[in-house]
Homo-oligomer: A and B are copies of this chain.
Amino acid sequence: MQKVMISLQDVNPRVRGIRVSSQSTLQSLAEKTIREITQGVPKPFKEVIDVSSGDPQRAGMKPNSFVRQVLAVCLWPELLREEGLPLDVRLRAQRLLEACDGESVGSYTASSGLPHIRQTIAEFIMKRDEGVPAYAENIFISSGAQRALMVIVKLLSEGEGQPQTGLLIPQPCPHTLLPLLDEAGVMAAPYRLVEEKSWAVELSELHRALTTSRGRCTFRAIYISNPGNPTGHLQDRKSIEEVIEFAAAERLLLLVDEVYQDSVYAPNREFISYKKVLFEMDNHLRETVEMVSFNSLSCACVAECGLRAGYMEVINMDSGVMHFVDTMLCTDINAPVTGQLALDLMLSPPKPGDPSYNTFAEETLLTRPTLAQNAQRSLKLLNDLPGMSCWPAMGGIYLYPRLNLPAEIREQANMLGLEADLLYCQMLLQEEGLILGAGQHGGTTGSHYLRLCVLVPPDTLEEVLSRISSFHLRLTDREHNGSYRKTKSRRNMPSPAEEIGQSYI
C-alpha cells in the first residue's frame, strides 16, 4: 500500500458512497457473458438481448431518416448539392449550419445551447401547451436530461455544516436516479407510488414521506416522472394539480421528468404537461410555483440516445438563481452540436406537403402503435405466467411486473445477500442471455419487480417473451420438483410460438 499515491481512502467519500445499482451489477455480468461468447465458450443462446433500459436503436429500432439525412448534410455540407436528397432536408441543413458559428458543427456553442434551437424548443413547448408562453431564455440545452437534472440537483445541494438537502422521489424511480443523488450528496426521501392504483401518485404518500424525513434534511424539491419511468403510469390533470398544490404549500421546487411525453399510448389518454396545468390554475400558483421540466432526445419516438442531448425549461425561477444554472453548464462547455441539431429536427419535424413529410410520418407515427401493441402483447404474456402480475402501462417505454418468487429463490438470494429479483435477472441472463432490469428498492424490501423495455422491433419482442417464458416456467417447475434441473439447451426447446402458447394454458 505504501506505494500507492491515491488509495481508496483518498477517494472523495461522497463518490465512494455512490450506491452500486442492480443495473450496473447486471451490466458487468452481461459484459462478461458477451466476452465469453466471443471467446467461443458454449452458451445456451447465440446472443445477449438487453431490454433492461431504454435503448431502442440497440434493440433494432430504425433511426428516423429525416433526422439522419439532415445531420449527414450538416457534417458533410458537400451533400447540400446532392439532388438525390429531398429538398427540405437540404434547406433545413443549410438553415441549421447558418445557426452554427462559422457555419460548422465543429464550433463550440454557448453553454446553454444554440439560440436558434432554444427558440425552436420554446416554440414547440408553446404549441404543445396550446399557447402557454415559453421563452428561449428559460431553455437550457444539455448533453441529456440526466445531465440537466444533475445541474439542478447540485445547485440545490448544501455545503459543509448545513443540514443536508432533501429531495422527494417516487418509489419506484428511474434506475439512474439514486446514483445521481448520491453523487450530488442529496438525501432521497421516497414517496411510494400506489401499485393497486396502477402506480398513481397519492397525496397522502407525499405528506407521509415529508413528515417521516423532516428534521433529517432541508427539503427543497420534489421529483416526478410522468409518464412514469418505470411504471408507465400517466397522471391526469387532477393528480398533477394535487402535486402542484402540495409543492406550493411546502415551498418545493418541482422537478418534472417528462422525457416520455411523446409516448402516451393508452386509449383516450393524452399527455398534459405540468406547465400547462400550472398555467391553468389560479394566478397565485401560476406566478409563484417554481418548476423545471426535462425532455430528452433519447425519448421514445426519435430515440437518438447516442447523440446525447436534452433540455430543461425553467419556470418562475429567480433570475439570480438561473444565472448559476448557466454557470454550472459552463463546466461542460456545451452539449454536442449534432445532438443539439437533432433536438431541432425532433421538435420541428417536416410538415404536411414537405417532401420528407410522408416518410417522416410513416416512420415516427408507427412508433406509438408498435409501442402499444408490444406493451399489450407483453402484458398478456406476463400476466399469464404463474407468480407474475403487471399493470397495463399508459405511456413510456417500460412494463414493471411484480414477481412473486418461489421460496427457494428468495432463500437463495438471502444467502447471497442479493435482492431476489436481482438473482432472478442474473439467472435469466445466464440461462437465456436476456437482460431485464431488477426492481428499484431504495430501502424497501419484500416485493420484487422486473423492468422491461417494450420499445423494440416486434420480432425481437417475440424472442424476449419466449426467453422470459421458458426461464420463468423452468423456475416454477424447479420449485414444484423441489430441486434444480440442469438447464435445457434452448436449441432442444419448443419454438417461441409453441412456448408462449403453452404458457397461456
- Could you mark each residue 357-387 of chain A with 1 if its beta carbon is under 8 Å from any beta carbon of chain B, else 0? 0000000000000000000000000000000
A14 CB-CB contact with B under 8 Å: yes
| Contact between A6 and B303, CB atoms less than 8 A apart | no
| In the bound complex, CA of A306 to CA of B333 (Å) | 9
Nearest-Cβ distance from residue A458 to partner chain B, whole angstroms = 16
Inside 8 A of A307's CB, which chain B residues have their CB? Answer: 105-106, 336-338
Inside 8 A of A327's CB, which chain B residues have their CB? Answer: 15, 18, 179
A150 CB-CB contact with B under 8 Å: yes
| Contact between A69 and B58, CB atoms less than 8 A apart | no
| Contact between B16 and A106, CB atoms less than 8 A apart | no
- Choose from B6, B150, B337 the contact partner of A321 (Cβ within 8 Å): B6
Copies in the complex: 2
- Choose from B61, B63, B107, B144 the contact partner of A55 (Cβ within 8 Å): B107
| In the bound complex, CA of A290 to CA of B330 (Å) | 29
| Contact between A159 and B14, CB atoms less than 8 A apart | yes
Nearest-Cβ distance from residue A400 to partner chain B, whole angstroms = 20
Nearest-Cβ distance from residue A434 to partner chain B, whole angstroms = 16
Size of A's binding interface in residues, CB under 8 A? 92
For the complex of A and B, list the 4 residue pairs with the smallest distance between their C-beta atoms, beginning with the closest. Answer: A306-B337, A72-B76, A336-B336, A57-B106
Given contacts A75-B72, A320-B8, A336-B307, contact A330 B105 (CB under 8 A): no
- Could you mark each residue 157-192 of chain A with 1 if its beta carbon is under 8 Å from any beta carbon of chain B, else 0? 111110000000000000010011001000000000
- Among the 9-residue stretches A96-104, A262-270, A474-482, the one with 4 or more Cβ atoms under 8 Å from chain B is A96-104
A334 CB-CB contact with B under 8 Å: yes
| Contact between A109 and B306, CB atoms less than 8 A apart | yes
- Choose from B6, B55, B154 the contact partner of A253 (Cβ within 8 Å): B6
Given contacts A183-B331, A288-B3, A332-B147, contact A106 B15 (CB under 8 A): no
| Contact between B79 and A72, CB atoms less than 8 A apart | yes
Inside 8 A of A339's CB, which chain B residues have their CB? Answer: 336
Inside 8 A of A118's CB, which chain B residues have their CB? Answer: none
